[in-house]
């Protein structure tokens, strides 16, 4: 079943929508949550919470890209769960990618630009990159893969992956500065 049909089932409040979403994207949801959380129970709870949130948000939400919409919800719930679990501890697995990208993306203290506008700018930048650089970047900063996992997936050395990421972050920062984002 295609994404438009799944969204239509959600609009109709047909419970088959959840079944179809699980069938098509269940593994992806567990993968995204599993790269952030380590306990099976936490991952399951996160994915189920995401299904519930999607059920409650469509309608009124009408996502153009259902896969990205769903992945974003799972990721955000997993990150919030991780923050809750490790309130006084730091989970080095996921804080490293966040710390790497922190100086590339403008801080959120400047509320004159919405997160959606910034996300759109980052998406435009990534679409301008070659496929391998874009995919390495997404696997690291969206899916939370380790350098080792990315290197194994693409048959590269970890050093090469680190270099790809460094150069892409540098290009992204220059792109965002050109777009008018401040880094004060």
**What does the domain layout of the chain look like in residue ranges?**
3-88, 93-178
Cα angle 22, 64, 77 (rounded to 5 degrees) comes to 50
Instruction: List all residues 6 or more positions away from 75 whose beta carbon is below 8 Å from its beta carbon.
Output: 32, 33, 36, 142
| Same fold? 3-88, 93-178 | no
CATH architecture, range 3-88: Orthogonal Bundle (1.10)
CA nearest 127: which of 175, 166, 162, 86?
Answer: 175
Gap between the Cα atoms of 135 and 179, Å rounded: 23
C-alpha of 5 from chain center: 23
C-alpha of 46 from chain center: 14
**CATH 1.10.10.10 describes domain 93-178:** yes
pLDDT tens digits, the chain, 184 residues: what are they? 899 999 999 999 999 999 999 999 999 999 999 988 888 888 999 999 999 999 999 888 888 889 989 999 999 999 888 888 766 544 455 555 666 777 777 665 445 556 677 778 888 999 999 999 999 998 888 877 888 999 999 999 999 999 999 999 999 988 988 888 766 5
Burial state string for 57-83 with b = 16 or more CB within 10 A and e = fewer than 16: ebeeeebeebeebbbbbbbebbbebbe
């Amino acid at each position: 079943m295609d994404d438009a049909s799944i969204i239509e089932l959600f609009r109709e409040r047909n419970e088959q929508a959840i079944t179809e979403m699980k069938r098509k994207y269940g593994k992806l949801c567990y993968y995204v949550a599993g790269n952030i959380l380590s306990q099976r129970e936490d991952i399951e709870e996160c994915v189920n919470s995401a299904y519930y949130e999607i059920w409650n948000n469509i309608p009124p939400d009408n996502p153009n890209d259902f896969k990205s919409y769903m992945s974003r919800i799972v990721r955000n719930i997993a990150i919030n769960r991780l923050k809750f679990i490790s309130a006084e501890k730091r989970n080095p697995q996921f804080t490293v990618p966040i710390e790497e990208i922190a100086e590339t993306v403008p801080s959120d203290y400047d509320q004159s630009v919405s997160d959606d506008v910034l996300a759109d700018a980052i998406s435009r930048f990534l679409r301008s990159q070659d496929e391998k650089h874009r995919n390495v970047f997404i696997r690291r900063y969206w899916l939370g893969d380790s350098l080792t996992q990315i290197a194994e997936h693409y048959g590269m050395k970890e050093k090469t992956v680190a270099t790809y990421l460094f150069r892409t972050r540098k290009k992204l920062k220059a792109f965002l500065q050109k777009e008018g984002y401040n880094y004060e």
